[in-house]
């Protein structure tokens, strides 16, 4: 097995388009939701960080710049068959490294309640009360870099 490696996926590339399928399978399909084309078009200026094994995207996350020195991590997904093997952790650490190299001082995210233990294990803190997004409970989390 080729170990997946983190890399920035160029917007519109084959791998970036493949990663939309992964996000759909892991994040949207189980909730009966899909992506609106305009939603995907807004992502051109965001970083698409993938964990790539050969020609297969095993993990994906997006980084959106939301303020001076602040970024939002979103759409964090690892292929179901590859979960629990450290891929998510390596992908988040790579995103943090790229962010700190680019003067980002804080990363925020809206964590699904089920994923809170994952982010806690990586040093993220919860902020405020639970709220609903895409029909399921979320909690705001963040880390200072």
Ligand X SMILES: CC(C)(COP(=O)(O)OP(=O)(O)OC[C@H]1O[C@@H](n2cnc3c(N)ncnc32)[C@H](O)[C@@H]1OP(=O)(O)O)[C@@H](O)C(=O)NCCC(=O)NCCS
Question: Contact residues for ligand X (CB under 6 A)?
Answer: 26-27, 76-78, 83-89, 111-112, 114-115, 117-118, 121
Give the residue at shortest CB distance from ligand X.
Answer: 88
Q: How far is the CB of 18 from ligand X (least distance, A)?
A: 16
Nearer to ligand X (CB atom), residue 10 or residue 25: 25
Q: Distance (Å, rounded) from C-alpha 67 to C-alpha 93?
A: 21
CA 11 vs. chain centroid, Å, equals 15
Structure tokens at 3: 């170990």
Residues 6+ apart with CB under 8 A from 17: none
Nearer to ligand X (CB atom), residue 84 or residue 137: 84
Nearer to ligand X (CB atom), residue 21 or residue 103: 21
Query: 3-state class of 127 per DSSP?
Result: strand
Structure tokens at 16: 């970036």
Nearer to ligand X (CB atom), residue 26 or residue 52: 26
CA 72-75-77 angle, to 5 degrees, is 130
Q: How far is the CB of 11 from ligand X (least distance, A)?
A: 22
Q: How far is the CB of 132 from ligand X (least distance, A)?
A: 14
């Amino acid at each position: 097995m080729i170990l997946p490696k983190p890399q920035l996926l160029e917007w519109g590339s084959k791998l970036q388009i493949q990663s939309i399928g992964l996000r759909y399978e892991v994040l949207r399909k189980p909730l009966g939701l899909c992506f609106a084309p305009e939603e995907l078009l807004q992502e051109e200026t965001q970083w698409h960080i993938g964990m790539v094994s050969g020609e297969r995207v095993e993990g994906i996350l997006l980084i959106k710049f939301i303020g001076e020195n602040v970024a939002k991590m979103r759409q964090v997904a690892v292929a179901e068959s590859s979960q629990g093997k450290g891929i998510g952790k390596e992908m988040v650490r790579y995103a943090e490294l790229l962010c700190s190299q680019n003067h980002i001082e804080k990363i925020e995210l809206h964590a699904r309640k089920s994923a809170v233990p994952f982010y806690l294990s990586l040093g993220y803190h919860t902020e405020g009360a639970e709220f609903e997004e895409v029909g399921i409970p979320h909690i705001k989390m963040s880390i200072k870099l």
